[in-house]
Structure 1
Amino acid sequence: MNTQIQSATVAAPVPLATPAVSVAIESVNLSYGDNHVLKNVNLAIEPGEFFAFLGPSGCGKTTLLRLIAGFNQADTGRVLIGGKDISALPPWKRDVGMVFQSYALWPHMTVRKNVAFGLEERGVARAEIERRVGVALDLVGLGHLGDRRPSQLSGGQQQRVAVARTVAVEPKVLLLDEPLSNLDAKLRVQVRRELRDLQQRLGLTTIFVTHDQEEANTICDRIAVMNEGIVQQVGTPMELYERPANLFVANFLGTANILAGEVIGSGSERHFAIDGGIRVPIAPGATIPAGARLVFRPQHAGLTGPEASSADGLALPCIIAHREFLGASVRYGVRFGTTEIGVDVPFQSGAELFEIGDHAKLTLPERLLLWLAA
């Protein structure tokens, strides 16, 4: 057998993927004994989409990914790929490829043999195996390392081998189970960009599981935020950040100031009363859910001198409680009444900063205030 496989160029790879397909999850419930892990999950993933399941540990995201792969079975509901119900099919008949968190490479095999393994198990012809292995390794930039073993590679290179092995079998859907968690922070940034670039070139429907909001935000088209087995909200990263559906989403995606209080008054005289005697006017027509909190991002607030007023919303007297320099911004902890919140102000060289103990005005544009319930 000729082991010297000619490498295609990375810039113009021979396509491996079949035409992109949709993935639908309909009314899925899954329990382990008394533990209800997935609760009436419904999702529609578009062909060619890079989609993320995002949430804290134990929220059900990996269980859902393994359900799509066929390693878990739902109590109720079904999974469709390309409109076909695959719920009853075993994993090897679902045309999905999964990259595991541990990479699961054979240590005694070369890189080339690791990538070829799945094709050999499927009985693919030798010439076609060589072609697909060569293309897959070139796609991930490892065509020159085919004769090495996993122990001779860095963590990032091993991760690429795992991806190459998966795309070589030409799956309809690519499943990624926290594939970056074993990499250091700097390498994680590099490899996630490579994953996004690869997915775009292949046009392959991809589902990515992570608990890291930055990873999901930077590479995914849309995100399903999950908590306690329930899909809390689905949307683009910007939609989720700017218009969270509830307090969990607002608090999980980025930093949020969340203030408890109660609505008092009626009509155009409504206010949100916060501990310490602070009353925040409520814009006419604003809908306030029962038990709602006042929510806003640190960068949506501002600070001015104690005599200033806001022409675009609220201006509340406050005291600077602490200050942190973050490079591009300065984060102030400000106190008004008995409440303390965070305010992020862009740093400008030479600008005068507030000192701890200074009196100031906290400004809040009304259009950026959110009223969210649990």
Structure 2
Amino acid sequence: MNTPVQSAAPAAPSPLATPAVSVGIEGVNLSYGEHHVLKDVNLSIEPGEFFAFLGPSGCGKTTLLRLIAGFNQADTGHVTIGGKEITDLPPWKRDVGMVFQSYALWPHMTVRRNVAFGLEERGVKRAEVERRVEAALDLVGLGHLAERRPSQLSGGQQQRVAVARTVAIEPKVLLLDEPLSNLDAKMRVQVRRELRDLQQRLGLTTIFVTHDQEEANTICDRIAVMNDGTVQQVGTPMELYERPANLFVANFLGTANILSGRVVASGGERRFELDGGTILPVPADRTVPEGARLVFRPQHANLVPAGAAAPGQIALPGLVAHREFLGASVRYGVRVGNTEVAVDLPFQSGRDLHEIGTAATLTLPPHALMWLAG
């Protein structure tokens, strides 16, 4: 499980650092014609927090980000920054800075001129423009490339120019709309660490839109998982992964095994009967919502020879259907009743692997089981 990057020591603050502010979203609804895009969205983002809107394409996350920026207007609801109502303010009066997915750099301008452009448009005095441009380029490590044009930069460097241009105006809130989507996999890892370090140096409240759960998990303090215009759950990456509120969150954040069945009560005890006939006990302290399914993560399960489960473990008889070598682990596909589930076991050189087609028992500690609906 990925967690936000933690530095060994606090990064030195930037000259562009501004006091951190909160962002509030209350009762927001937004429709395009008959299409209800945002549905009663309520969020409270803390000062200095690195916060993510995470969800699949079309879930409303970018629409919500643009609403905060002032490019979209809510049908109902309120948006506040630092406790100040901004719902009806135009974008240029909101003190927010937005980095677009396309970067939107002027191709005929140098890096320096791109960063200075927004300040000059605001009528900032020349000496102050120069100070902020130098500070912004120093912040993103591009001072030595100030006279190049965007076409002479790599994708990662162009992204850093877009960030420098935005932070140079000293916004109260930084908005990032899928800023890593145009980079290759290796560059995304590098740049997301740079973004986290930059955000810590600025102490700036930052909202990050992405459909990539790994990106959100590794750099954000908290995440709002969105689907179909609604906020499904808000929490830290670990909270969302370990205690998902519903099936959508469990399935969207990492791999989840989801098994259908029904609760059967007998003599004061409850059991969960899986489709296919396998029955397992339901711990007395667990709430099982109506229509719930059994959910567990692949790494929480183990495979032992058929009938060899240890006392206190939940045991499910199965058949090894296939396996995949993933380097640090081996993923087994195990047929349990009518369902195939994934089991991830650490790879150790010299240890015998479970053979395809053999019977095995899948074991789980009771605390690893979740019953989720929705």
TM-score when scaled to structure 1? 0.96
CA RMSD in angstroms comes to 1.0
Question: 2:14–2:202: 8 Å Cα contact kept in structure 1?
Answer: no
Q: Give, in whole Å, the separation in 1 of the partners of 2:271 and 2:198.
A: 51
Partner of 1:126: 126
Matched AA of 1:77: G
In the TM superposition, 1:1-374 aligns within 5 A as: 12=12, 14-266=14-266, 268-374=268-374
Q: Give, in whole Å, the separation in 2 of the partners of 1:31 and 1:271.
A: 44
Matched AA of 1:372: L
Question: 1:303–1:361: 8 Å Cα contact kept in structure 2?
Answer: yes
Q: Give, in whole Å, the separation in 2 of the partners of 1:312 and 1:90.
A: 61
Instruction: Give the drift of 1:268.
Output: 4.2
Q: Give, in whole Å, the separation in 1 of the partners of 2:50 and 2:22.
A: 11
The answer to which of 355-364 and 50-59 deviates more is 355-364
Instruction: Give the drift of 1:13.
Output: 5.9
Q: Percent identity?
A: 80
Partner of 2:5: none
Matched AA of 1:95: D
Question: 1:257–1:341: 8 Å Cα contact kept in structure 2?
Answer: yes
1:270 aligned counterpart, secondary structure: strand
Q: Give, in whole Å, the separation in 1 of the partners of 2:285 and 2:206.
A: 41
Q: Give, in whole Å, the separation in 2 of the partners of 1:297 and 1:280.
A: 17
- Deviations for 1:55-97, whole angstroms, at most 9, x for unmatched residues? 0000000000000000000000010000000011100000000
Instruction: Give the drift of 1:266.
Output: 4.0
Matched AA of 1:360: A
Q: Give, in whole Å, the separation in 1 of the partners of 2:206 and 2:357.
A: 51
2:27 aligned counterpart, secondary structure: strand
Query: How many correspondences in the alignment?
Result: 364
Question: 1:17–1:172: 8 Å Cα contact kept in structure 2?
Answer: no
- Deviations for 1:140-176, whole angstroms, at most 9, x for unmatched residues? 0000000000000000000000000000000000000
Matched AA of 1:71: F
Question: 2:17–2:201: 8 Å Cα contact kept in structure 1?
Answer: no
- Deviations for 1:239-285, whole angstroms, at most 9, x for unmatched residues? 00000000000000000000010111246421111122101111123
Q: Give, in whole Å, the separation in 2 of the partners of 1:310 and 1:77.
A: 55
Q: Give, in whole Å, the separation in 2 of the partners of 1:260 and 1:267.
A: 23
Matched AA of 1:87: T
Question: 2:24–2:80: 8 Å Cα contact kept in structure 1?
Answer: yes
- Deviations for 1:276-305, whole angstroms, at most 9, x for unmatched residues? 210111112321100000000000111011
Structure 1 gap ranges (5+): 1-10
Residues 303 and 132 (structure 1), Cα distance of their counterparts in 2 relative to 1, 3 Å cut: same
Q: Give, in whole Å, the separation in 2 of the partners of 1:13 and 1:231.
A: 33
Matched AA of 2:165: R
2:348 aligned counterpart, secondary structure: coil
Instruction: Give the drift of 1:14.
Output: 4.0
Question: 1:301–1:364: 8 Å Cα contact kept in structure 2?
Answer: yes
Residues 14 and 264 (structure 1), Cα distance of their counterparts in 2 relative to 1, 3 Å cut: closer
